[in-house]
Copies of this chain bind each other. A is one copy, B any other.
């Protein structure tokens, strides 16, 4: 079914609204996004916007959903376009792509992972599947690395710490993803470690100590893999 002119124009307008919203957030922060400046920027009355989004929260939800999907796209793309078949190389590419996306889209990353917006809560049925998508990319590669014996974790790190076993088990059941508990544990560990690097960089906290934050992130990624017992070239 082809798009009518009207449908096409509608889609364009929606994208324009989103783009302007992102731009305004880059200047005024994510937590104070408001409809009126968007309308002004578009040379349109405020109420015109309500033809496209039921209210401000609906616009936020659309932006957040876009962001999670774009991030997952970037990660999947990094995995699939890595020349080597080595899952270690693929994982490296995916983790690098994760930060690249965040640094190239600081406001979008902030909208998803920064302060909650007062009075707004993202509907889980929208966000959870999108988050799971990007998580699956990393965890799939970790599982493959473990199964193929490409990593030999040291004794203190070759098992899920006992107090965490229950929680990890519950999570695996809930999302029904067939993967070992250790792979999930490694994925969470890596996520939280790299998340900190990205957040500190995004808000300029780490720059006074580290000049080259790209090199710093890469060093952290290498540490992560070394500590899992992966042999890097």
Contacts and interface: CB of A to CB of B under 8 A. Distances in A.
Interface string A202-226: 0101101111100110011011001
B195 A199 contact: yes
Interface stretch (A3-11, A78-86, A160-168): A160-168
A174 B211 CA distance: 13
A200 B209 contact: no
Is the interface on chain A under 10, 10 to 19, 20 to 34, or 35 or more residues?
35 or more
Total copies of the chain? 2
* Overall SS of chain A's interface: helix
B206 A188 contact: yes
A116 B203 CA distance: 7
Contacts of A13: none
Name, among A113, A196, A197, the residue most crowded by chain B CB atoms within 10 Å (CB to CB). Answer: A196
A130 B205 CA distance: 13
A210 B167 contact: yes
Contact of A203 (B113, B166, B222): B113
Contact of A164 (B28, B168, B196, B210): B210
Interface stretch (A29-37, A46-54, A57-65, A140-148): A29-37
A67 interface: no
A212 B29 contact: no
Contacts of A216: 164, 188
A195 to B, nearest CB: 4
Given A28-B118, A227-B227, 14 more contacts: A29-B118, A31-B32, A31-B115, A164-B211, A166-B212, A167-B210, A168-B210, A191-B196, A192-B196, A192-B206, A193-B193, A195-B199, A196-B199, A223-B227
25 contacts: A29-B116, A29-B117, A30-B115, A31-B115, A32-B32, A156-B222, A156-B223, A163-B215, A167-B209, A168-B210, A170-B211, A171-B208, A184-B209, A188-B209, A189-B220, A189-B223, A193-B196, A193-B220, A195-B196, A195-B199, A195-B200, A196-B198, A196-B199, A199-B199, A223-B227
Interface of A: 28-32, 110, 113-118, 154, 156-157, 161, 163-164, 166-168, 170-171, 174, 184, 188-189, 191-200, 203, 205-206, 208-212, 215-216, 219-220, 222-223, 226-227
